[in-house]
Amino acid sequence: MTKTRGLKEAKKKLGDLEKIISMLLKKKKKVKIFESGPGYGKIMMELTKKFGNKVEIIGMNLKPSHGNKKIMVDFALKEKIINKEDLKKIKLPKIIFGDAGKKLPFKSGSIDLVYSQTSTYLYKDKIHFYEEVTRILSKKGIARITLHENPNISKEFLPLLKIQDKIKQIHFEKFIKTFKPIKIIKLGNGKKVIEVKKGKLNFNLNLKSTINTHNINKKWFGIQSIYDVKK
Domains of the chain (ranges, CATH numbers): 2-148+180-201 (3.40.50.150)
pLDDT above 60 (res 117) = yes
For 200, residues 6+ apart whose C-beta sits below 8 A from its C-beta are: 134, 181
Confidence of residue 208 (pLDDT cuts 50, 70, 90): very high
Predicted pLDDT of residue 147: 85
Query: Distance between CA atoms of 150 and 173, rounded to whole angstroms?
Result: 16
Predicted pLDDT of residue 155: 87
pLDDT above 80 (res 1) = no
Confidence of residue 213 (pLDDT cuts 50, 70, 90): very high
Question: What's the pTM?
Answer: 0.94
Confidence of residue 178 (pLDDT cuts 50, 70, 90): confident
